[in-house]
Chain A
Amino acid sequence: MTLIVESGYEFWNPIIWLITFAVVMVIVYFFRKRGEAKYKKGEDQTQIFLCGEEVPVAEQRHVRGGNAYWGFFETLKEYYDGIVRLHTGVVNDYVVWFVAVTAISAIILLIAELVR
């Protein structure tokens, strides 16, 4: 019985990883303690600074889920147009996909048998 996972190539031991992580965190904490600590909570020092502009209210400044990764979706627009079109939400189409997979798998097995 062992505490590690061996894949054949190498091993994974979470305990070693955690110890390493803890050491790194201690080092990070050491540097953080060197930083400037003289600020007063609740004053202008801790308020959001937006190039001198007025800070919008919470609803307006929060990045919503629908706005995330805009560039990613624009780059892959053609892929998404196609893949979303396939997800019709119509249960008849789901059954068609089942029939298609069954038929394709059967043909592949048949060809494999003929080749063999």
Chain B
Amino acid sequence: MATLIEHSSILIIAVPLLIAFLTPLIGMASKKARNSVVVVGLAFVAFLVFALARDVILNGIHIYTLGATSPSLAIPEGTMVPVRIILEVDGVSVFMGIVVAIVSLVAVIYSLSAMKGETGQNRFYTLLLLMVAGTFGMVFTGDLFNLFVFLEITSISGAALIAFRTKFADSQEGGFKYIVVSAIASLMVLFAISLLYAQYNLLNIGALAAAMQYTMLDRIALVILIAAFAMKLGGVPMHMWISDTYSVAPVSITVLLITASQASMYALMRICFILYGVTLDLAVVGWIVIAIGILGMFIGVTMAVRQTDITRLIAYNCVCEAGFMLIGLGVGLAVLGDRTDLGTFGTTAINGAIFHMINHALFEGLLFLVAGAIFYRIGTRDLNQMGGLGHTMKFTAGFFLLGALASSGLPPFNGFASKILIYESVYQFNPILTIIGILVSIITLAVFIKAFFSAFTGALLPKYEDIKEVPKTMIAAMTIFAVFIIIFGLFPGLILDWIVRPATDALVDQASYINAIMGAIP
């Protein structure tokens, strides 16, 4: 077991990669065998993630150096800096790893039935696993260039998956938009990395953080990195691709796109808190992040309430929820240099933002799966065409209600637990932000009341009288999300203690991240 944990960080990336390339071969022999291998493989990866999370939380940062005589040997003999490919897994990384592990497993289980009628399933699962491997790589890497490489893997496989159902013209358009936006973001990230490399001859995040001078070139690199990752996470006004892509992809892919966007938010956190840390103009950068967050909350929710396409409605709600996270992170960043404010409310704001990331993945994931279930049965996403579906799709209706209440921040669900942390901590920084947040939550409730009532309540429309509930594997996938939502809602203190606070502690502790790498100088 100790050996497994020692190599777990690379296995978590390598296992999905290996299965991705095996999938077409196994699929040619047996579809059932292929499906089983994919599900069991991702379940094994989830097990590794939880084992690694336990190890990191108990024993501290986990270093894995590829090609070294010992995985923990970050700096080779005779050199003063890390030069190899290094995975550096701390509390934030394992937190994100848990999010990706849960969501990817649910996405695959849901796909078993939802994608059954589609052609090219071997390629579908290959691309899905590549996307999962890329997302894990983004959150585990300790190296900026590898962050770019994994960002590219995630983006390219994501674009192919969005456009996977070639029979739909809007899927093609969505895939095209995703690849254009992703390519520009990736290239700008590469440009920013080159600016840092030109100055410091370093690519390792910990080593760069130790050497950071915050020169004019560093500032330019910072601005480019913030803008690029803000676009990838759907920060307003660069959010418009979200509704165009989330709404047209197969929903099991949309939930993975949510985690990919969250991986970009993770990258933004890693850059601001660890790479630059206290060298930043903290108040200015913090307020830039807060401004993107406020715009996201307000424009996201007001656009959501207007939608009549159920998946676009949920997609705009994703933009809104990302705004909540950005506000929490922005406040934490703004007070990072002030130990008093950080202790009084800054860490609570970051706790709220990080807790909201996993909650967001769960309830928006559930809502998208429900939207996919409706489309699976009635073949439309148009709310104007729906009515009374709750009479025949009782489980689906229940799941939608659960996701909607959680997303709106109603007690006792998980959305409330994370939002209350954001509201109360942010209030101490600037009360206006909390007022906007509460207003936005009220409108969010209005958004989902509209969606729920127009889709599920009222008299059952005669054209849907023969509609049945979706297959059991789709119900099972939605149940997993629902169970997590309920558990996270009922026991938020435990989740905070187990995975959220360790993530926040890792994020505000730049010195430990640097020492984990540079402390190993021979």
List residues of A whose CB falls within 8 A of some B CB: 1-5, 7-10, 12, 14-15, 17-18, 21, 57-59, 61-66, 68-69, 72-73, 76, 79-80, 83-84, 86-89, 91, 93-95, 97-98, 100-102, 105-106, 108-110, 112-113, 116
Contacts and interface: CB of A to CB of B under 8 A. Distances in A.
Contacts, number: 171
A58 B462 contact: yes
A69 B450 contact: yes
Interface SS majority for chain B: helix
Interface string B261-289: 00000000000000000000100110010
A62 to B, nearest CB: 4
* B-side interface size class: 35 or more
A91 to B, nearest CB: 5
A25 to B, nearest CB: 13
Contacts of B50: none
Contact of A17 (B244, B411, B462): B411
A5 B417 contact: yes
A56 B412 CA distance: 39
A68 B384 contact: no
Interface of B: 176-177, 180-181, 184-185, 188, 219-220, 222-224, 226-228, 230-231, 235, 237-238, 240-241, 243-244, 281, 284-285, 288, 292, 299, 302-303, 305-306, 308, 344-345, 348, 382-384, 386-388, 411-412, 416-417, 420-421, 423-425, 427-428, 446, 450-451, 453-455, 458-462, 489-494, 496-497
Contacts of B345: 8
A33 B152 CA distance: 62
Contact of B181 (A89, A91, A100): A91
Contact of B220 (A14, A93, A106): A106
A8 B424 contact: yes
A14 B459 contact: no
Contacts of A76: 302
B490 A18 contact: yes
Given A7-B420, A65-B451, 12 more contacts: A7-B423, A12-B411, A62-B459, A65-B386, A72-B305, A94-B240, A98-B184, A98-B185, A101-B238, A102-B227, A105-B226, A112-B281
B461 to A, nearest CB: 6
Contacts of A1: 493-494, 497
B388 A62 contact: yes
Nearest to B495: A5
21 contacts: A1-B493, A14-B417, A57-B462, A58-B388, A62-B454, A62-B461, A65-B308, A66-B308, A69-B446, A73-B306, A83-B299, A86-B237, A91-B177, A91-B181, A93-B240, A94-B231, A97-B240, A98-B227, A101-B237, A108-B284, A108-B288
A79 to B, nearest CB: 7
A106 B425 contact: no
A98 B180 CA distance: 12
B344 A105 contact: no
B195 to A, nearest CB: 13
Which of B226, B292, B455: most chain A Cβ within 10 A? B226
Contacts of B185: 98
Nearest to A16: B412
Contacts of B176: 91
B465 to A, nearest CB: 10
A15 B490 contact: yes
Contact of A102 (B224, B450, B451): B224
Given A89-B240, A106-B220, A14 B446 contact: no
Given A14-B411, A65-B451, A94 B384 contact: no
B497 A83 contact: no
A66 B305 CA distance: 10
Contacts of B306: 73, 80, 84
B213 to A, nearest CB: 14
A83 B302 contact: yes
Contact of A62 (B220, B412, B458, B492): B458
B496 A112 contact: no
A101 B230 contact: yes
Contacts of A58: 387-388, 458-462
Contacts of A59: 387, 461-462
